Each structure stands twice: as structure tokens, then as C-alpha cells.
Structure 1
Amino acid sequence: MAVNPIKSKLKEGKCVYGSWIRIPSPIIVEALGNVGFDFLHVDMEHSSIDLQMLDYLVLAGYRYNIPLAVRTATQNPADLYRIMDIGYSSFVLPRIESAEQCAHLLKGARYTPAGTRGLGGAVRANGWGEMPLEQHLTEAEDDTLMIIQIESEEGLKNLDAILDVPGIDVVYIGPLDLSQALGYPGQIDHPVVADTIASLIKTIRAKGIAVGIHAATTLQAQAWAEAGIQYFTVALDVSLLQSAGRTVVGQLKNKQ
């Protein structure tokens, strides 16, 4: 297993682009994993995707060598290493609001002495026990990518302390929840929201950590890239399907 390719690209200063998976089907991972995205986010927080489905999705990711990051729905470190045993190495941790909470979760994704991840014996992550233990421990550390979400008033207040927690690779801004926390729900372009995002970019980058965000459009992603953001999600499987459907229907009906 090589060093996580997303980690390598971010360290080189490159931008990376992905999308969200909410439809519980490995076919979606295969379809979107074959179009050129750098990664895909599997969303357990806002979908019906469960642990059994994760087992199928990771195999679909292997098929096209597309890195998958799982957004969890719980605040339990044991859930992280259970998912890692299945074969995932990247996580999006939502609703990070304190340094203590962040450290507690991040430790669940790393083996001792850096963390509390349990050794599970023969699991997919170590080739069902065929990989030597020392190799597995080393590769697990190299491959792990931890993305935390700052999207609340509490998270903003404790940002400096949170950023000092070791093991954070990307701070991912949730613009919709952030706009709501600031009192302007859904108004991503409101000056207060825009200024807060600009301030977050400056503060996070000063700590040597990459900044991520969800962009509603490709033009928005381009503008944020110029502002210093490197890690982007754009659209999600449902919206991409709807958009393609609307285009086809519009073209058909406009010819009648």
C-alpha cells in the first residue's frame, strides 16, 4: 500500500476534487470512480448507507483505484477502526467543536502509541492476516487521512486549540452549516459568511494544514482555489443524476 495519494498531492500544493456518495450502491462508486475524480466521500451522516454497504462500496473503490473517505455519523472512536478494518483509511469527521473531542476521535484511527485503534487480527486492511504486522502498522499510518469539519459557532470559537491537535490533514469547511451558525442560513455569499471563510483559510493554512470545502459550482471551486483552498467536493451523486436527467428532459421537451 503506497502513501495516500491525496496526502501526497496536498503536500505538493495541488488541488484535489471529489464528490459525495449518498446512494447505497457500489455501482455509483464504480460509475463516478471512473470519470476522473481524485476521491469520493461516502456519506453515512446524511444517507441510509450502513456498515454492510460500506463493505461493498470499498470493493467498488478498489475496482477503479479511487480513494474513498467515509463521513461518520457517530462520535465513537471504535467505529473508526471498525471501518478501517474493512479497508478504508480516510475519514471526514463532522461537528468538531473542541480540541478534546477532536483528539479523542483521531486517536481511534491510529495504532499505539499515537492512538487507540485495536488490532483486529485477520482483516481486509492487513490482507486477511497475510501482511506482516510491522508492515501493516507502518502502512496504516502512511495511508491514513483525517479530515475534520468546522461548521458551528463552538467550532469557530475553539479553532486555534483544535488546530493544535496532532494528526489533522484537512480542515473541511461546511459552508451551509457555517452560514447557519453565523445567522445567515444558506447565504454562502453573505459578506459575514464570506469573510469568515476567508479568515478560516488564513488561520488554517498558517498552521500548515490543508483547507477543504464543498463548492456548489465549478466556478465557486475555482474562486476558492485562488483563495488558497486545495481540497474540494463538488455536487453529489443524487444532484448529478438529477442534473443529467433535467438536461435530457429539457432538450426533448423544447423540441416539441
Structure 2
Amino acid sequence: MTGDELPRLGAWVKLPAPESVELLALAGFDFAVIDAEHGAIDLRTMSTMIGLARGCGIAPFVRVAGTTPRDVQVPLDAGAAGLFVPQINSVAQAQDAVRAVRFPPLGRRGASTSGRAGQWGRAPLGDYLRAGNDDVRLIAQTENVTALSAIADIGAVAGVDAVFIGPMDLTVSGRFQEGSPEMTNLITAAEQSCADHHIPLGTVASADAAELLQRRGYDFLVLGADTTILRQGAHALVNSVRTATPGAGR
């Protein structure tokens, strides 16, 4: 798979509100990442979000909490376009993720065509199995120093489609200061390693998005979260009124 086959711009969905997905679609995002690792989103809401995203033409990904069958089976059966799997810090952990997400012979995912992924029982078994192994995207989140040092090897594991640099966890696990030369050099080396080995690469971004896509070789970006977008938009709106009308203070 190449980076061109991945949707380019996405956002985390942390609020347990399906309308967040619809609003992201209307805003022009290519994909949404329903956050089951850090967001308080139950399985029923997750399934609704996935269905709504598909209907709105935005690719529904899920960031799972781990790789147990309960973590991966429900979003995949519900029709997720792919999974972001956190804390993949070695080739062995990447292989474990593949085994959890893929059908045999690559993995051990359980099969059932009765869900949305199987068109509610309508899809032929062969098509359902092929889609699960060929069309569902597995994104390995690399989030510590060891992971970034091995990022190309992680991305080359059969069944992994792309790698994702998680700068916040990298900062915490490596005890870096944000923007420190050591952290910058580590990320730059990881970017170059992915470019040299043609590994699709993603990360989070904000004002630096254009640079990441155009000059630093990233294939896809997560541009914040629904919560951040709401907070920033609300702050800008209130601040603009208070600035224009000094008497409108608290």
C-alpha cells in the first residue's frame, strides 16, 4: 500500500456524540478517528458513529485501547475502515497487532458476516475475508524512543499499513522537553527512515500541517480533536466579541 491510498486529513473524535462525525464530514475532513483509548465512547455509540461516517462519505477509523478480541472485533465488525493501535513499540508488538486484526492466515480474527462489515449477512464469505485482510487499514502508533528507532521495521511487518508518530507519548516516555533538539532529531531520523523504506507515515499536526505534508514526507495527518476544535472555536468567538466591545467582559 502507498501513502496515496490513505485518506489525508482527519481528526480525533472524543465526544460520545455521533454528530461530531457528521460535523467533521461537513467540514471536509477525509477521515475521523473514533477514540476508544482516551474518549468516553461506548460500543453502541461507536457503531453508530461508524455507520454515520460511512453514510456521510468520511472514512471511520477507531483508535482502540489494545489488541484483545473485545478491543478490535467490535469496531471491525461494525465496519471501521481501519484501526489505530497505540503503543506499538517493537516488531513483536506489531506482529501481535496483525494477529489480532487480520483473518487467517495472517491472523486470528474471528469471522462473522452478520455485522455491517459483512453487509448484515449479505456479503459472500470470501469477499468479507478479503476485505478484512486487504481493505481494512492497520495503523501502528509508535510512541517511544525504541519504537522510533525501529519505525521502518515496524512499518514493514506484513499486515501493517502505516505508522503514526505520537509526539505527546514520545515526549512523556522519553522525558523530553517539547521541541528539544534530541526529540526533533529522533523524529527527523524516523521520517527519513520511513521515506527510505517507502513506509506510509502519519502524525498529529496543527499550524505545521502544510510543512509536514509538502516537505517532511507525511502521508496523513490528524488535525486535533472535536473537543479542541470546539474549545478553540468557542474561545475565538467569545474573544472576538469581548475585544470589539470592551464592556462585554465577564
What TM-score do you get using the length of structure 2 for normalisation? Answer: 0.90
Task: Identify the residue that residue 30 of structure 1 maps to in structure 2.
Answer: 22
Return the alpha-carbon distance in structure 2 between the equivalents of residues 207 and 110 of structure 1: 23
Task: Identify the residue that residue 120 of structure 1 maps to in structure 2.
Answer: 112
Match of 2:199 among 209, 222, 226: 209
Is the 2:54–2:60 Cα contact (8 Å) retained in structure 1? no
Tell me the percent identity. Answer: 28
The residue type equivalent to 2:8 in the other structure is V
Is the 2:86–2:142 Cα contact (8 Å) retained in structure 1? yes
What secondary structure, in the 3-state scheme, does the structure 1 residue paired with 2:126 have?
helix
Match of 2:182 among 188, 192, 195: 192
My pick for the range that moved more, 46-55 or 136-145, is 136-145
Task: Identify the residue that residue 211 of structure 2 maps to in structure 1.
Answer: 223
1:166 aligns with 2:158: yes
Shift in Å, 1:15:
7.5
Task: Identify the residue that residue 227 of structure 2 maps to in structure 1.
Answer: 238
What TM-score do you get using the length of structure 1 for normalisation? Answer: 0.88
Return the alpha-carbon distance in structure 2 between the equivalents of residues 160 and 26 of structure 1: 35
Change (3 A) 1:50 1:212: same
RMSD: 2.0
Is the 1:110–1:116 Cα contact (8 Å) retained in structure 2? yes
Query: Which stretches in structure 2 are left out of the alignment for 5+ residues?
Result: 246-250
Q: Deviations over 1:128-169 (max 9, x none)?
A: 111111122222333211111111134235445434421221
What secondary structure, in the 3-state scheme, does the structure 2 residue paired with 1:134 have?
helix
Shift in Å, 1:113:
1.2
Q: How do 1:8-23 and structure 2 match up within 5 A?
A: 10-11=3-4, 16-23=8-15
The residue type equivalent to 2:34 in the other structure is V
Change (3 A) 1:160 1:240: closer
Change (3 A) 1:158 1:230: closer
Match of 2:147 among 150, 155, 175: 155
Is the 1:30–1:63 Cα contact (8 Å) retained in structure 2? no
Q: How do 1:56-135 and structure 2 match up within 5 A?
A: 56-135=48-127
What secondary structure, in the 3-state scheme, does the structure 2 residue paired with 1:127 have?
helix
Task: Identify the residue that residue 3 of structure 1 maps to in structure 2.
Answer: none
Return the alpha-carbon distance in structure 2 between the equivalents of residues 117 and 41 of structure 1: 21
Return the alpha-carbon distance in structure 1 between the equivalents of residues 55 and 41 of structure 2: 19
Is the 2:72–2:100 Cα contact (8 Å) retained in structure 1? yes
Query: Which stretches in structure 1 are left out of the alignment for 5+ residues?
Result: 1-6
The runs of at least 4 aligned residues of structure 1 exceeding 3 Å deviation read 156-161
